Chains A and B, each alone.
Chain A
Amino acid sequence: MKHRVRAATLAAAALALAACSTTAPTASGGGGGDDVETGNGVTADGITIGMITDLSGPFAAGAAVQVTETQAYWDQVNADGGICDRDVTVDVQDHGYDPQRAVTLYRSMAPDVIALQQVLGGPTSAAVLPLAEQDSVYVGGVGWAGSALAYENNQLPGASNAIQAANAIDYMVDELDVPEGSTVGVVYFTGDYGGDALAGAEHAAEERGLEILAQEITPATTDLSAQASALAQADVAGVVLAAAPTQLASLAGVLSSQGADVPIIGMNPTFNPSLLTTPAADALLANAYSMTSVSPYDNPDSPGVQEANELYASADPAGATGWEVPLAYVQAELLRQALEGACESGDLTPEGVVAAFRDGGEVDTEGVLPDGLDYSQVGQSPTTTVFVSKVSADAEAGLELLDQVSGPSAESFSYGG
């Protein structure tokens, strides 16, 4: 029996090792016969970028969509001639949503990459960002928490959580007839994401003469009956939600069952098309909105979103659609622009990439992010404009784009001010 257990343990260990195995590290250091100065992750004919994501933890499914889209994007760039006459390789590693593993992966990866397109997750990116800042390594998508704005090497894909939440309050007052003096609920995840959204909502409520009733929850809170009852009891005129899809569906369903038909505006990651198959679908269709930094999947007017969706459809025809597709596309697009800027200025090094996006002037993403992104100011959101969508059964991936807005409270919000 003991032998069997040992054999099973060995097999499990082998499996675990196989799951953790990495792509072979590329040659590091400089190179290249042209006039461009090169550094880590760049050779005469290749550029390596990194992506530290979650392929085995709680966000594995959404992360897989992003990896597929990212690979498809860079394959396309390489087919079109690459960057600075070099092919781009993406080194994808899995941190499993474990900050310690993210740090270890970063340490082993840093000498071999010029930039990190993404470090997925709040706690994981919070662990990596300070190290990457010391090494002057560009870090792209890390979510939208305001705390990431303080790092010079971080490029936030669109408006921060506080700006989204402030816009949500502005939108309620300006478009959804929430009267001055009424109370608005804010239900938020404890941590960077929810805390930042609460700060934005509180600022906007003060500007617009509203009261805030805040309810802090964790991702384990999947039944929001108690919170919804408290909100209904306070007679809230609307709710801002900085949580995840399960919380949106529960909150909308319970509020509606208690006769509180008020608008619920969710931040970036709060909507998923599969919610429309749950018993909460009617309540969501009636009351739920989404306030996002990145365009929703269904946006026929944006050439960028169309290209993102086409790339994804050809890379994985049966893949899950949703906001991860345009998000992954635009993260790659932002990094491509930074790499090309670095190439043009003759400094294709990690430092050169950071300098390129900070000094590069306004960024155009063909409608995937709002126009006029400005990354010159460290510590502030690159834009105050966000996308407003309504949950809809007719739109692809369940969100119908209504408008792009930049409300007065979002514009007057300032980090550290």
Chain B
Amino acid sequence: MSYFLEQVLNGLSYGLVLSLIAAGFAIVFTSTGVLNFAHGSVVLLGAYLVAVLHDTIGFWPAVLVGLVGAAVVGVAINALLVRNLADPNPGTAAILMLGVDIVLLTELTRRIGNQVLTLGAPWGASVVRLGDVTLPTGRVLAAAVTLVAFGALWYLFSRTDLGVGMRAAAADGPTASLMGIRLSRTAATGWALAGILAAVAGIFLTSFPAPGVAPTVALSAFAAIPAWVLGGFDSVPGAVVGGLLIGLTSALVTGYEADLEPFLGAGFGEVAPYVVMIVVLLVRPSGLLGSKEAVRV
């Protein structure tokens, strides 16, 4: 039983980190209509900044620089590239983002080299024991920070003018613009928020139980894509539910692989998130909490 509980808690805490990334995808999509395939590199960038700076300025100031750096890069991608697209359709922007991802990732890979950079996180490799269950302290913190972050997002979107403006812009851009909402401002805020969430996720994805910053971390963002898609492309709560579902599925399928292998084959844990995504989309084509496309009957 404690083994089951351990895998469930592992899965949920990992799922919350994934949901930070998935929420970033969703926020950029709702605020500018862009499928941001460069998000993985921004996750890596945030963690990289913390790793290279923690020795000189200390861990917490480095975290601050990582968050701000990732936010600034997000805003810059939007201001310099997305807004200047001659043909503002989602396909063009998505391909542009693939290009940005290649450029960012190549540069970060060059800088990181074949090292695994340590993050210098004060929680190190410590663990929290709850009865028979052992959880890395980093994961417990990740869960707490993620819940706080989502609480803050809820407050922003439902209680502040800026957040309500962002929702209005997402629902109907031209009308929101006529109502005096500055779309450039809501878009920049969206990209900045996504950058911050990506950096937070990057920090937790590269501290214990993961060893440190290596270029493969950018691939972790791909694990969040099924969470984003099955939550519904444009829904932050959907991203949270999607992340939890994907985290839980991977942990349980991997944890019980020995029992599942005879009929599912080896390595099913890597495939399971996509299977869940496809099943959800078959039942609910707009995802769990995504808004439905208007269809003329």
Contacts and interface: CB of A to CB of B under 8 A. Distances in A.
Given A214-B266, A226-B7, A253-B208, A279 B118 contact: yes
A134 interface: no
B208 A246 contact: no
Given A190-B267, A246-B210, A226 B255 contact: yes
A230 interface: yes
A2 B86 CA distance: 7
A275 B115 CA distance: 8
A215 B219 CA distance: 19
Interface string A55-80: 01111111011000000000000000
Contacts of B112: 61
A108 to B, nearest CB: 23
Contacts of B194: none
A59 B110 CA distance: 10
B234 to A, nearest CB: 26
Nearest to A319: B113
Chain A CB within 10 Å — which of B209, B266, B269 has the most? B209
B254 A279 contact: no
Given A226-B255, A254-B136, A274 B84 contact: no
A156 to B, nearest CB: 22
A59 B114 CA distance: 7
Contact of B270 (A4, A216, A229): A216
B125 A279 contact: yes
A5 B86 contact: yes
Contact of B125 (A62, A223, A272, A283): A283
A229 B127 CA distance: 14
Contacts of A246: 116, 210-212, 214, 216
A245 B113 contact: no
Given A2-B86, A218-B270, A274-B117, A250 B109 contact: no
Given A190-B270, A230-B258, A249-B211, A282 B110 contact: no
Nearest to A220: B219
A182 interface: no
A62 B114 contact: yes
B217 interface: yes
A1 interface: yes
Contacts of B257: 215, 230
Interface in A241-277: 244-246, 249-250, 253-254, 256-259, 272, 274-275, 277
B115 A272 contact: yes
B285 interface: no
B274 interface: no
Interface string B1-34: 0010011001100100000000000000000000
Contact of B106 (A4, A56, A190, A227): A56
A280 interface: yes
Nearest to A254: B209
Given A222-B214, A226-B255, A5 B116 contact: no
A234 interface: yes
B209 A229 contact: no
Interface in A219-241: 219-230, 233-234
B78 interface: no
A324 B114 CA distance: 11
Contact of A229 (B10, B113, B223, B269): B10
Contact of B211 (A57, A230, A250): A250
A42 to B, nearest CB: 34
A257 B134 contact: yes
A244 B7 CA distance: 24
B115 A61 contact: yes
Interface in B100-158: 106, 109-110, 112-118, 121, 124-125, 127, 134, 136, 139
Interface in A153-208: 190
Contacts of B124: 279
B220 A222 contact: yes
A100 interface: no
A277 B86 CA distance: 47
Interface string A115-138: 000000000000000000000000
Interface residues of A, number: 57
Given A230-B255, A274-B117, A225 B211 contact: no
Given A279-B118, A283-B125, A249 B250 contact: no
A320 interface: yes
A278 B115 contact: no
Contact of A233 (B3, B84, B110, B210): B3
A151 to B, nearest CB: 27
Contacts of B136: 225, 254, 257
Interface string A292-328: 0000000000000000000000000000101010000
B127 A257 contact: yes
Nearest to A183: B258
Interface string B207-231: 1111110111101101100000000
A213 interface: yes
Given A217-B270, A258-B134, A65 B216 contact: no
B122 to A, nearest CB: 10
Nearest to B127: A257
B118 to A, nearest CB: 5
Contacts of B210: 222-223, 246, 250
A322 B216 contact: no
Interface string B224-263: 0000000000000000000000000011001111100000
Contacts of A216: 266-267, 269-270
Interface of A: 1-2, 4-5, 56-62, 64-65, 190, 213-230, 233-234, 244-246, 249-250, 253-254, 256-259, 272, 274-275, 277-280, 282-283, 320, 322, 324
